[in-house]
Amino acid sequence: MPALMEKLAIGWALLGGVLLIAIVLVTAVNVGAFGLDRLAGLFGGAVPGLPGYEDFVRLAISAAAPMFFPYCQLRRGHVAVDIFVSHFSLRTQRRLDRFSLLAIAVMALFLTYWLILGLGETYSDGALSRVLGWPEWPFYLPGIASLALWALVALTQFFKADAHV
């Protein structure tokens, strides 16, 4: 695996982790506000939750979740069914592995294509989040980059595996 691609996949996953930490912190603040609101309600007061909390979490998680796919592919961390494959010859196992790498790359590129179309439609519709009023189309960009990087990692593994068959 080229060092640059490995660093890119690792850095991308770390950035996804930063987004997840932000989601957790915002959620903790919102839950704390809910608890304080219940307590303040006993004394006739009120503590509002964060306005747009659901908007932020929905948009941030849609960006963060796919950011882990390239790293997972890099480490071959996806689910694999080895129960019956382990009884096949080494040559057959390698061919199945190569087929799965190519299938993953094709699937990731297919999803990238459809996500690009979705971005275009969301942009042309001028879709905004309900409470915060944020445009939704920019949150497609990390997903597109994630899926493209995932396909690139899988293709690199496919061509690297070519030498072993």
Residue 38 pLDDT more than 90? no
Write down the pLDDT at residue 84.
Answer: 78
pLDDT above 60 for 21? yes
Is the pLDDT at 1 greater than 70? The verdict is no
Distance, CA of 12 to CA of 77 (rounded, Å): 16
- What is the pLDDT at residue 162? 60
SS3 55: helix
pLDDT of 7 reads 96
3-state secondary structure of 128: strand
Q: pLDDT at residue 164 above 60?
A: no
- Largest alpha-carbon pair distance within the chain? 73
Amino acid letter, residue 68: F
Please check the confidence at residue 60 and state whether its pLDDT lies above 60: yes
